[in-house]
Amino acid sequence: MASNKYEEITKAAVMLFERKGYHATSVQDIADEVGLQKGSLYHYITSKEDLLMQLAHRSISEFNGQMEEILKNASLTNRERLHLAIENHLKYVTKNVQLTTVLLREAFSLGEDQHQVIQDLTDKYLNLWTQVIEQGIAAGEFRPVHARITALSILGSINWVYRWYKEGGKLTASDISKLYSDLFLDGIENR
């Protein structure tokens, strides 16, 4: 598999899925966009659904990998872990607005089995966040909040950024990250 061409195909697919919607985008549209015959495109991908699945799997795996690194780092407080988690997630969303739009909007179009795989990885990610908050409560860093709901609340909030973030807007990803960290960390901090 020529990986440069594959990357070009995934980029074209993300752009088309975002603009037209996953359902309305055909394999022919993707082939046209990268200047390949439809038959040749199938050297790189097995189906449109497979392409969406690869994109989703890659993203959520990256999120999980980053979060596992944060949890493993014994030199961090849980407050620092949560701050880093917010920062990493926001950086990803703001760097990949089109991809985030596609994944959050179109993942429901995956077949049941594939959707379940993504759902399980997403649940794992939520559990890692919940773990940081639970550890922070146990260590007396955070108030005894409902850890899972707090994790859902923060994740919902930072995922939502894809809907209003404009690259080159007044606020940089790092500004937003700072504002969100302050808001949430002040919200759960033990005093």
Binding site for its own copies (CB under 8 A): 21, 23-24, 105, 108-109, 143, 145-146, 149-150, 152-161, 163-164, 171, 176, 179-180, 182-184, 186-188
Of 41 and 133, which has the nearer Cβ to its own copies? 133
Using CA of residue 61, residue 100, residue 94, residue 28, what is the dihedral sign? positive
Close Cβ partners of 15 (under 8 Å, ≥ 6 residues apart): 33, 98
Q: How far is CA 71 from the centre of its chain?
A: 18
Of 42 and 160, which has the nearer Cβ to its own copies? 160
Of 36 and 59, which has the nearer Cβ to its own copies? 59
Residue 56 beta carbon to its own copies: minimum distance, rounded to whole angstroms: 15
For 138, 178, 182, the CA distances from 71, given in Å and listed in that order, are 15, 20, 20
C-alpha–C-alpha distance, residues 92 and 102, integer Å: 14
Burial of 111 (0-12, 13-18, 19+ CB in 10 A): exposed
Residue matched to tokens 């899925």? 17
Of 70 and 158, which has the nearer Cβ to its own copies? 158
Residue 172 beta carbon to its own copies: minimum distance, rounded to whole angstroms: 12
C-alpha–C-alpha distance, residues 94 and 3, integer Å: 24
Of 5 and 159, which has the nearer Cβ to its own copies? 159
Residue 150 beta carbon to its own copies: minimum distance, rounded to whole angstroms: 6
Residue 67 beta carbon to its own copies: minimum distance, rounded to whole angstroms: 18
Residue 102 beta carbon to its own copies: minimum distance, rounded to whole angstroms: 11
